């Protein structure tokens, strides 16, 4: 397992500074592949797709409050990061994880809406009354809070789920971009292009990761 861990740590090193003090540790003492803020972002994004089963055939969430919540959490995410890096205040891994998780969760829902909007626009529900807006928004925040609590309590056991979440995040971005490019012709060439872009991306990231780790070793030794 140590070789698997080393592979992922190198692979994901270009994604994050990987500072030990700002990263979680697994139950068996391994440092997470990315910092606590990024861990929250990727896990939040991944777990937002549990709503896929609620929105499988029809997107039934009001997008306006979701976008507002996304930007609110983006602001909180940015303020926590900037203020702590600037030395104006101290933060900790709980706060970092909190800001990252909520941002990733609502980013994931926005992604799902964009996918529906581009490819299944007729399957988006726009008919919400005022009470439904407040109720669904409140339930989304409550659901996100529940997922945040469960994952934070069990974080030492989520090392490899985080690795999957990072890969899933990249997968959704690559898929969305190629879906747009091949919107009119999703045939064999679409799948070939998707596979090649996905592989080339991770190979280049892995090579970059090796270079970064070698540079860090030289600086500290």
The per-residue pLDDT of the chain, averaged, comes to 88
Closest CA to 12 of 221, 180, 210: 210
Q: Give dist(CA 102, CA 95) in Å, integer.
A: 11
Selection from 164, 209, 180, 174 nearest residue 39 by Cα? 164
Whether residue 132 is predicted with pLDDT greater than 60 in this model: the reply is yes
| Poorest-pLDDT segment among 10-24, 117-131, 180-194 | 180-194
Residue 56 in this model has a pLDDT that exceeds 90: no
Query: 128, 62 in Cβ contact below 8 A?
Result: yes
Give me the domain span that covers residue 175: 2-220
Are the CB atoms for 165 and 46 separated by under 8 Å? yes
Residue 192, pLDDT above cutoff 60: yes
Query: Residue 12 corresponds to which tokens in the numbers above?
Result: 């994901």
Q: Is the pLDDT of residue 94 over 70?
A: yes
How many Cα atoms within 13 Å fall on the side-chain side of residue 152?
20
Residue 204 predicted with pLDDT over 70: yes
The model's confidence at residue 130, banded by pLDDT at 50, 70 and 90, is: confident
83 vs 51, which has greater pLDDT? 51
d(CA 42, CA 39): 5
Whether the per-residue pLDDT at 178 is higher than 60: the answer is: yes
pTM: 0.89
**117 has a pLDDT exceeding 70:** yes
DSSP track, 41-61: HHHHHHHHGGGGGTSSSSB-S
Using one digit for the tens of pLDDT, what is the confidence trace for 64-88? 999 999 999 999 999 988 887 777 8
Q: Cα-flanking dihedrals φ and ψ of residue 163, to 5°?
A: -60, -45
Packing angle between helix 159-181 and helix 188-220, nearest 10 degrees?
130
pLDDT at 86: 73
The residue count for the chain? 221
Confidence class of residue 27 from pLDDT cuts 50, 70 and 90? very high
Closest CA to 109 of 140, 80, 81: 140
22/24 Cα distance (integer angstroms): 7
Question: For residue 84, what pLDDT is reported?
Answer: 79
Indicate the number of domains in the chain: 1
Residue 104 has pLDDT above 60, yes or no: yes
CA distances from 198 to 59, 71, 174, 175, 187 (A): 27, 29, 7, 9, 17
């Amino acid at each position: 397992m140590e070789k698997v861990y080393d592979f992922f740590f190198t692979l994901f090193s270009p994604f994050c500074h990987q500072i030990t003090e700002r990263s979680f540790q697994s139950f068996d003492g391994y440092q997470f592949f990315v910092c606590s803020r990024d861990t929250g972002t990727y896990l939040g994004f991944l777990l937002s797709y549990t709503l896929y089963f609620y929105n499988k055939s029809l997107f039934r969430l009001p997008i306006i409050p979701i976008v507002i919540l996304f930007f609110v959490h983006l602001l909180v995410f940015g303020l926590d990061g900037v203020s702590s890096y600037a030395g104006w205040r101290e933060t900790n891994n709980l706060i970092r994880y909190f800001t990252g998780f909520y941002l990733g969760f609502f980013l994931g829902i926005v992604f799902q809406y964009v996918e529906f909007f581009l490819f299944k626009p007729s399957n988006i529900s726009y008919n919400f009354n005022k009470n439904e807006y407040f109720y669904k928004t409140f339930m989304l925040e409550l659901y996100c809070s529940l997922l945040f609590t469960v994952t934070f309590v069990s974080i030492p056991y989520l090392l490899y789920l985080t690795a999957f979440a990072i890969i899933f995040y990249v997968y959704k971005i690559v898929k969305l971009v190629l879906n747009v490019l091949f919107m009119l012709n999703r045939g064999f060439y679409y799948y070939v292009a998707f596979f090649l872009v996905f592989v080339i991306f991770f190979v280049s990231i892995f090579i970059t990761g090796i270079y970064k780790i070698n540079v860090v070793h030289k600086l500290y030794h």
